[in-house]
Structure 1
Amino acid sequence: MKERGKGAGRSVDERYTQWKSLVPVLYDWLANHNLVWPSLSCRWGPQLEQATYKNRQRLYLSEQTDGSVPNTLVIANVEVVKPRVAAAEHISQFNEEARSPFVKKFKTIIHPGEVSFVR
């Protein structure tokens, strides 16, 4: 069998562990916002405010569930830190199970079905 590249023999967990260790080198800033269920849609909205070290911007995303509660469209305000301002410690210590303190819900709209795109 022909090997397809450098990472072909490694498991997904091994590749993820390597990516996670390189996060501070690869990105200027990273905000991980864990959702109950994978989101079918996500769209950036208008910029609300510009400051010296960060900008505030609107974010629209769908929150799907297992059916126990209605699906929703979440409108959030996100504080986006400008490049080379975030501390490397913050970036390297992100937890994929946590919700980002930079993403703050502004409004939640109950939707009768799946929200598969946002305009």
Structure 2
Amino acid sequence: MTKEDHGESRDEMGERMVNEEYKLWKKNTPFLYDLVITHALEWPSLTVQWLPPSCKQQQDIIKDDDIDHPNTQMVILGTHTSDNEPNYLILAEVQLHDGTEDEDGDGDVKRPQDKMKP
């Protein structure tokens, strides 16, 4: 194998990784934009940090492993205001998608409330 062959295979691996990341992004985009649009903040947030699950959350996940429940995560958002307004932190609880596909096969992943029947 020459250096050129090795370089090409490395380029192919890099391209493959980019394609996989793009597919993952494309799959999760509806959830990301739903969150951004429906949770607008008055000021931009320069700080976003996901918090690890608390001991109680970990126990609940282990105890209820066979029960269908949303994956809830905690996140901290820090504002960046003008000098006339105080900065503040927002502690938010976010329900994430459970990863299951919709049964009708249209490719759209539905939220739990979308699956409820009246």
**TM norm structure 2:** 0.43
Pick the structure with greater CA Rg. 2
Which one has the bigger strand percentage? 1
Which one has the bigger helix percentage? 2
**TM norm structure 1:** 0.42
